[in-house]
Chains A and B, each alone.
Chain A
Amino acid sequence: MTTSGPTGVTPPAIEVRSITKRFGPVLACDRIDLSARRGEIHGVLGQNGAGKTTLMNILLGLVAPDAGEILVDGTAVAIHDPIEAARLGLAMVHQHFSLIGPLTVWENVTLGEQGRVDAGRTIRRVHETAERYGLAIDARARVDDLTTGQRQRVEIVKCLMRDPRVFILDEPTSVLTAAESLELFGVLRTVVREENRAVILISHKLDEILHATDRVTIMRNGEVVGRVETARTDADELAREMIGRVVSLESVGAAIGHLDLDAPPAVPPAARPVSVSPTITRDRERAMLSLRDVTAVAADGRTLLDRFSLDVRRGEIVGLAGTEGNGQKPLGDLLSSLLPIVSGTVEVGGVPVRCGRAGAMAAAGIGVVPEDRRAASILELSVAENLVVGDIDGICSRGFVNRRRLRALAQARVEQFAITTESIDAPMSSLSGGNQQRVVLARELSRNPGVLVAAQPTRGLDVGAIDYMTERIRAAAASGIAVLLISTELEELVALAHRIAVIHRGHIVGETAREDLDLQRLGLMMGGLAS
Chain B
Amino acid sequence: MSSVETILSSAVRLSVPLTFAACGEYVAERAGTLNISVEAMMLSGAYAGALGSSVMHNAGAGLVWGVVVGVAVGMMHGNLSHRFSANPFVVGITLNVLALGLTSYLLATVTMQPRQVGILTIPVLSHIPIVGRPLFSQRWPAFGLYALVPFVWWVVQRKRWGLELRAVGENPRAADVTGIDVNRRRRQALLWCGALAGLGGAFLAVGEVGTFNSNMTAGRGYIVIAAVIFGGWTLRGTIAGCFLFGGADALRLALPALGYTLNSQALVAAPYLLPLIVMCFFAQRSRQPAALAQPFERGAV
Interface of A toward B, CB cutoff 8 Å: 60, 62-63, 81-83, 85-86, 94, 97-103, 107, 110-112, 114-117, 299-300, 374
Contacts and interface: CB of A to CB of B under 8 A. Distances in A.
30 contacts: A62-B176, A62-B177, A81-B179, A85-B179, A86-B179, A94-B177, A97-B173, A98-B174, A98-B177, A99-B171, A100-B170, A100-B175, A101-B171, A101-B290, A102-B170, A102-B290, A103-B163, A103-B167, A110-B163, A111-B164, A111-B175, A111-B180, A112-B179, A115-B160, A117-B159, A117-B160, A117-B163, A299-B284, A300-B284, A374-B301
Interface in B35-65: none
CB-CB nearest 5 A-B residue pairs:
A82-B179, A112-B178, A83-B179, A100-B171, A97-B173
A103 B171 CA distance: 10
B181 interface: yes
Contacts of A100: 166-167, 170-171, 174-175
Contact of A82 (B158, B170, B177): B177
Nearest to A117: B160
A62 B287 CA distance: 30
A90 to B, nearest CB: 11
A107 B162 CA distance: 11
A188 B107 CA distance: 69
A96 to B, nearest CB: 9
A460 to B, nearest CB: 13
A82 to B, nearest CB: 4
Contact of B177 (A97, A116, A117): A97
A112 B171 CA distance: 14
Interface in B174-228: 174-181
A98 B178 CA distance: 7
Contacts of A82: 176-179
A97 B173 CA distance: 6
A379 B167 CA distance: 29
A82 B174 CA distance: 12
A116 B298 CA distance: 27
A116 B175 CA distance: 18
A83 B164 CA distance: 13
A83 B175 CA distance: 11
A101 B169 CA distance: 11
A85 B299 CA distance: 18
Nearest to B157: A117
A374 B174 CA distance: 20
A97 B171 contact: yes
Contacts of B158: 117
Best-surrounded residue of B159, B160, B170, B298 (most CB of chain A within 10 A): B160
Contacts of A112: 178-180
A191 to B, nearest CB: 21
Interface size class of B (residues with CB under 8 A): 20 to 34
B170 A101 contact: yes
B280 to A, nearest CB: 16
Contacts of B299: 63
Contacts of B180: 111-112
A303 B286 CA distance: 21
A161 to B, nearest CB: 13
A170 B267 CA distance: 57
Contact of A103 (B166, B173, B287, B298): B166
B179 A97 contact: no
Contacts of B287: 102
Contacts of A117: 158-160, 163
A97 B170 contact: no
Contacts of A85: 179
Most buried by A among B175, B177, B301: B177
Given A82-B177, A101-B171, 12 more contacts: A60-B177, A63-B299, A82-B178, A86-B179, A97-B171, A97-B177, A98-B178, A101-B290, A103-B163, A111-B175, A111-B180, A115-B160
A94 B287 CA distance: 27
A85 B301 CA distance: 22
Contacts of A116: 160
A94 B174 CA distance: 10
> Which of A62, A63, A102 gathers most chain B CB within 10 Å?
A102
Given A62-B298, A98-B177, A111-B180, A103 B170 contact: yes
B163 A107 contact: yes
Contacts of B301: 374
Nearest to A116: B160
B167, B179, B287 interface centre (most CB from chain A within 10 Å): B179
A102 B166 CA distance: 9
Contacts of B170: 100-103
Contacts of B174: 97-100
A87 to B, nearest CB: 9
A371 to B, nearest CB: 14
B170 to A, nearest CB: 5
A85 B171 CA distance: 21
A102 B180 CA distance: 17
A51 to B, nearest CB: 16
A85 B179 CA distance: 9
Residue of A83, A86, A98, A374 contacting most chain B CB atoms (<10 Å): A98
A355 to B, nearest CB: 21
B269 to A, nearest CB: 30
Interface in B98-157: none
A204 to B, nearest CB: 20
B216 to A, nearest CB: 38
A111 B180 CA distance: 8
A94 B179 CA distance: 13
Nearest to A158: B178
Nearest to B181: A81
Contacts of B171: 97, 99-101
A374 to B, nearest CB: 7
A514 B97 CA distance: 68
A523 B176 CA distance: 35
A97 B172 CA distance: 9
A81 B171 CA distance: 18
A482 to B, nearest CB: 32
Contacts of A102: 166, 170, 287, 290
B4 to A, nearest CB: 41
Contacts of B178: 82, 98, 111-112
Nearest to A82: B179
Nearest to B287: A102
A176 B181 CA distance: 31
A101 B291 CA distance: 12
Contact of B167 (A63, A81, A86, A111): A111
B284 to A, nearest CB: 7
A84 to B, nearest CB: 8
The interface centre, meaning the residue of B167, B173, B176, B287 with most chain A CB atoms within 10 A of its CB, is B167
Contacts of A374: 301
A140 B180 CA distance: 22
A100 B180 CA distance: 12
A236 to B, nearest CB: 36
A156 to B, nearest CB: 15
A120 B159 CA distance: 14
A220 to B, nearest CB: 24
Max count, chain B CB within 10 A of own CB: residue among A100, A103, A112, A117: A100
A94 B171 CA distance: 15
Contacts of A110: 160, 163
Contacts of B181: 81
Nearest to B167: A100
A63 B299 CA distance: 9
